[in-house]
Structure 1
Amino acid sequence: MSSTMTFDNLKDIMSRCTGETEDLTEEHLNLDFTEIGYDSLAILEIASQIQREYGLQIPDEAIEEMNSPQAVIDYVNNSLAAA
């Protein structure tokens, strides 16, 4: 389990879940997932992978609020810091 999540960590998880991150750059951090081509099922799979990899429990309400890569990174890092 890692102590923090970086953009590269998230990109790796997203790649394993969807296989489509070659065009994803840090310029996309604050864009909604829908704007960069990810649907709600992809986001659920990403959240599931994060829960397994980082040992976090992510409530459904939090997943609904994780609407951009930056929001995911912030949530994970805040949760890890609080643990």
Structure 2
Amino acid sequence: MRELTYEDLMEIIRRCAGESDEMAQTADARDIPFAELGYDSLALMETASMLQRDYGVELPDETVVDIDTPRALVELVNSRLGSAV
């Protein structure tokens, strides 16, 4: 399975939650907390659900709520992809 990129993640978030005003004004938000980007826990749960479906990785709710930045979520998904092989 291919790795998740930052660009892939942001497209999934946009599909799940739309593009927030903060996100629209930020060229690269890899290290900006999701809350500052305008995404709440519901948006992250929907994103995690889509990531599980599209990438086949298990992302428990309690793990997802602890992820605070896009970079951390990409790294988590990719680490789980590596261990699933």
**Which residue in the other structure is 2:73 paired with?**
72
- Give the TM-score, by structure 1 length: 0.87
Between the two proteins, the alignment pairs up a number of residues equal to 81
CA distance in 2, matches of 1:81, 1:65: 21
**Which residue in the other structure is 2:17 paired with?**
18
**Which residue in the other structure is 1:44 paired with?**
45
User: Structure 1, unaligned stretches of length 5 or more?
Assistant: none
CA distance in 2, matches of 1:31, 1:12: 16
**Which residue in the other structure is 1:7 paired with?**
6
CA distance in 1, matches of 2:18, 2:42: 14
- Give the TM-score, by structure 2 length: 0.85
Runs of 4 or more above 3 Å deviation? none
Alpha-carbon RMSD across the aligned residues, in angstroms, is: 1.5
Identity of matched residues, %: 38
CA distance in 2, matches of 1:10, 1:51: 12
The answer to whether the Cα contact below 8 Å between 2:45 and 2:61 also exists between their aligned partners in 1 is: no
User: Structure 2, unaligned stretches of length 5 or more?
Assistant: none
Comparing both chains, which one has the higher relative contact order based on Cα–Cα distances under 8 Å and sequence gaps of 6 or more?
Answer: 1
Secondary structure of 1:65's aligned partner: coil
CA distance in 1, matches of 2:83, 2:30: 23
CA distance in 2, matches of 1:71, 1:50: 14
The answer to whether the Cα contact below 8 Å between 1:65 and 1:71 also exists between their aligned partners in 2 is: no
